[in-house]
Amino acid sequence: MNLDRWQQIEKIYHSALEHEPRQRQAFLREACAGDEALRKEVESLLAHQLQAESFIEAPALEVAAKGMAQNQAQSLVGRQSGPYKIQSLLGVGGMGEVYLAQDPRLDRAIALKILPTELASDPDRIRRFIREARAASGLKHANVAHIYEIGQSDGLHFIAMEYVEGQSLAQKMSGQPLELKGVLDIGIQAADALEEAHRKGITHRDVKSANLMITPKGQVKVLDFGLAKISRPEGEAPGSDVSTSIHTVEGVVMGTLRYMSPEQVLGKELDARTDLFSLGVVLYEMTTGRLPFSGSHASEVMDRILHAQPEAISRFNYNVPPELEWIVRKCLEKDRDTRYQSAHELLIDLRSLKREERLGPTAEVTVQSWSHVRRFAVAAITVAIIAILGMAVYLITWRSSAIDSVAVLPFVNASADPNNEYLSDGIAESLINSLSQLPKLRVKSRNSVFRYKGKETDVQTVGRELGVRAVLTGRVTQRGDGLLIGVELVDARDNNQIWGEHYNRKFSDIVAVQQEISKEITENLRLRLTGEEQKRLTKPYTENTEAYQLYLKGRYHWNKRPQGLKEGIKYFEQAIEKDPSYALAYTGLADSYGALGTWEDGTVSPAEAMPKAAAAAIKALKIDETLAEAHTSLAYIKLHYDWDWLATEKELKRAIELNPSYANAHHWYSHYWMTMGRTQESLIESNRAVELDPLDPIFNGHLAWHYYYSRQYDQVIEQCRKIFQMNPDLFWPHFRLGLAYEQKAMFGESIVEFSKTTTLARHLTYVKAALGYTYALSGQRNYAQNVLDQLKELSKQRYVSSSDVAIIYVGLSEKDQAFAWLQKAYQERSWHMVLLKVDPRLDNLRSDARFKDLLRRVGLPP
């Protein structure tokens, strides 16, 4: 089958999974458009998935099978089967139990495979059992366990075979990679055995590390030819091979399934190339200590075998030469036509690599003559030059092809349930946060990419607008406890797909699948990560799925602030109840309380909100000191409430040290410098935040904030107009424009902008105060007094910052009242006090001793 056909099958298969089982037949008839062969292909794959999933849900089968084997073993140990005396049970397989027995005729130990009594009445099982013996007995090879005899005694069918002392490759590895020499030795011997088998028309179909025995002298013995995947008998349906394997006990299914080729998973008629894929899995396992395709259940493993590329071997073992990684990759090609076409080809490459390794720097050379030395030196130098040039070309190619910037667009909620919007948003945001941990990768912020939410987007346009090389898109479907995530990484230059994947998991796997997606993305961006960067990328902040789900809901409401802040707090607190060690949930709690007690919301008094925010931020850092977000959250509190300038700078520096690309840390560092009256340093950090994310409306809006307090009012106006082009629905560009117009004595324009702001953000009392201040300056004292009265009345219902009242008295030139309310603001620790030094509206108070005293008490330099 060609690759295009496979892709067509996979596309329809994944679409079918999104339909209810009763609707799938109608969907398939329409999707396959009369192509009966195509429909059967998809139906076969769906059937195998259902079989595997239903089987995996029943671990009792494995227990029952082992129990039956143990019961039979107890009854057979000590018995005679033909000429053989059974001594002990060695193991249990899908087609029989294997015992250690003694052959008294030749006084040798043998392995005796016996067909279980419950299968002996099945003619088809007996026929397979006999065919296995005949297949293996036809192989006279040093790396194949020999068959001595096949027979029947007292109703027991048995195969007498060579007893191989030693341990299986699986036992030898124990989850750890082998040294290169061991990998090559074992790979060569296994490939040699398979070449002999294939030459005689025998396909093993169950090549795996558990079926490769290693003797104490290092000799490999391939066991169990045809045990789980035997050649198809005449008249048997082509699809029966997979179903045979899937109906064995769970241990056998999982062990075999993870080594299956794509055509094996699809139930296709197999040839020798399926063994080469399975041997590639074994080679990968020997070099990394892990399997290339794994998952928590059978359908997930099948999905990865069909769609996923294994992670680069070099990520787990830097000592593996590129040539070996290339060999393994060629073995694991999805399309068997691009795989090794014979074991002989694979054997040649493995032997050549072993020979090259032997001729490395440790090789000994016997020199017989000076001319020989000279020829060898010239040859060696030539080889070295070629190698160096080759490496240089490789590095240049690799570096030039590495992708250093990406945008993760909002994922589509394909569940048709608006209540799942938090999930699609949250997964995209989590991926943004994970990828942002990598210093070599520029990742666009949530604020930049979420302006594309709900819009038809062209990847090349997005790439051009955001200035990135690659764009990641995704779809999330949740049905019950099932979760289907489809992702696609696209080159923004030519719209070609770099990588795509579907993850069909249970909802409980959501944390693990996001880690997996992050790793796949970085691999396909061709980024070479350090060990520390890999840890940061896949760091699990919680293993509790419920806590993570509640955290995503909390961030979903946080992003709808200020209206969603209190709802967000509820979810963050619930997440912490589920997992008290969830640092990110404490950070979310700190951010939410911090916003309630400052300018972002301002409806809760600082004395009530900010200590809660501080406690949450400190708790987050006690759990994880390396969390840049938590350091930034604490800096926010130190700046706006504690007025601890040294601690503020310390926390921001630490956040930037941990994550230099974290634009929000630069954003708040700019706030800090402005508080100190250091406008130039503030501008540097403002520009740095914008450089990191040029289209983020918040950071662009902050630049307008900076220009205002730097008294560059024309630039405020210009910057706000740019922001309106990005997002015309934001309220704060209107507010900044109103402030700039007011300072330019353009009172009519200022009042218009403030009126728009109060319509868009009615709850923000400092906006009403700015309007009252402008009314006062423009001579409309009655209107100013009316706003003043409104704020005082509102303060009886909820918190209103005293600085808001003070600023209107400043506009009315009532200094005594202004200082009285500023003193109240000081006692409240109002967020506006940090701007005393730079707010131009306070200029007519600066010569007053009371103002200088206020600056001193807040701790600001004069």
452-487 residue pLDDT tens: 777 666 777 878 888 888 888 888 877 777 777 877
CA dihedral (586, 589, 593, 599) in degrees, to 10, reads 100
Checking if the pLDDT of 368 tops 80, the result is: no
574-619 residue pLDDT tens: 989 888 988 888 988 988 888 888 877 777 889 988 999 999 999 9
Please give the Cα distance from 272 to 278 (Å, whole number).
Answer: 10
pLDDT for 389 equals: 43
CB 628, CB 655: distance < 8 Å: yes
Checking if the pLDDT of 44 tops 70, the result is: no
State mean pLDDT over 98-115: 85
823-836 residue pLDDT tens: 999 999 998 899 99
Q: Which two tokens stand for residue 481?
A: 């406890």
The lowest-confidence range among 65-74, 276-285, 484-493 is 65-74
State mean pLDDT over 49-60: 37
State mean pLDDT over 528-553: 75
CB 702, CB 686: distance < 8 Å: yes
Q: For every residue of 600-622, which 3-state class applies, written as one string?
A: CCCCCCHHHHHHHHHHHHHHHHH
Query: Band of the pLDDT at 100, cuts 50, 70, 90?
Result: confident
Angle, vertex CA 145, rays to CA 143 and CA 151, nearest 5:
160
Checking if the pLDDT of 242 tops 50, the result is: no
- Arithmetic mean of pLDDT over the chain: 77
Closest CA to 266 of 3, 24, 62, 498: 3
Please give the Cα distance from 505 to 478 (Å, whole number).
Answer: 10
Checking if the pLDDT of 346 tops 80, the result is: yes
Closest CA to 304 of 296, 317, 293, 320: 293
State mean pLDDT over 382-394: 44
Fill in the DSSP letter of residue 411.
P
Q: Look up residue 826 and give its amino acid.
A: Y
Query: Band of the pLDDT at 238, cuts 50, 70, 90?
Result: very low
pLDDT for 297 equals: 67
Please give the Cα distance from 146 to 139 (Å, whole number).
Answer: 8
State mean pLDDT over 250-270: 68
Checking if the pLDDT of 377 tops 60, the result is: no
Return the bridge partners of 212, or none.
Answer: 222
Checking if the pLDDT of 634 tops 80, the result is: yes
State mean pLDDT over 270-276: 90
Query: Band of the pLDDT at 105, cuts 50, 70, 90?
Result: confident
Q: Look up residue 624 and give its amino acid.
A: D
Query: Band of the pLDDT at 48, cuts 50, 70, 90?
Result: very low
Domains for the chain: give ranges and CATH numbers.
Answer: 167-357 (1.10.510.10), 402-540 (3.40.50.10610), 545-660 (1.25.40.10), 662-744 (1.25.40.10), 763-862 (no CATH)
State mean pLDDT over 275-298: 89
Checking if the pLDDT of 351 tops 50, the result is: yes
Please give the Cα distance from 475 to 409 (Å, whole number).
Answer: 10
Query: Band of the pLDDT at 621, cuts 50, 70, 90?
Result: very high
Strands of the sheet with 156-162, listed across from one edge: 80-81, 84-92, 97-103, 108-114, 156-162, 147-153
B/e letters for 678-687, b = 16+ CB within 10 Å, e = fewer, are: bbeebbebbe
Angle, vertex CA 389, rays to CA 383 and CA 395, nearest 5:
135
pLDDT for 271 equals: 86
Query: Band of the pLDDT at 532, cuts 50, 70, 90?
Result: low
Closest CA to 109 of 162, 158, 174, 170: 162
Name the residue with higher pLDDT: 705 or 220.
220
pLDDT for 517 equals: 79
pLDDT for 798 equals: 87
- Residue owning tokens 């000799």: 219
Handedness of CA 531, 327, 289, 427 (dihedral sign): positive
Please give the Cα distance from 476 to 470 (Å, whole number).
Answer: 20
The percentage of the chain sitting over the pLDDT mark of 90, rounded to a whole number, equals 17
The lowest-confidence range among 9-13, 256-260, 813-817 is 9-13
State the burial class of residue 83 (Cβ atoms within 10 Å of its Cβ: 0-12, 13-18, 19+).
middle
pLDDT for 192 equals: 92
205-225 residue pLDDT tens: 889 998 899 998 899 998 876
Angle, vertex CA 763, rays to CA 758 and CA 768, nearest 5:
45
Query: Band of the pLDDT at 286, cuts 50, 70, 90?
Result: very high
Checking if the pLDDT of 233 tops 80, the result is: no
149-204 residue pLDDT tens: 888 877 778 888 888 888 889 889 988 899 999 999 999 999 999 998 888 888 88
pLDDT for 136 equals: 65
CB 220, CB 213: distance < 8 Å: yes
pLDDT for 814 equals: 93
Q: Which of 29-33, 74-78, 235-239, 416-420 has the highest mean pLDDT?
A: 29-33
729-771 residue pLDDT tens: 777 788 888 899 999 988 888 888 888 877 777 778 888 898 8
pTM, to two decimals:
0.52
CB 541, CB 455: distance < 8 Å: no
CB 114, CB 76: distance < 8 Å: yes
Closest CA to 111 of 148, 61, 73: 148
Identify how many contiguous H helices and E strands the chain contains and give both numbers.
37, 15
pLDDT for 848 equals: 92
Query: Band of the pLDDT at 234, cuts 50, 70, 90?
Result: very low
pLDDT for 378 equals: 42
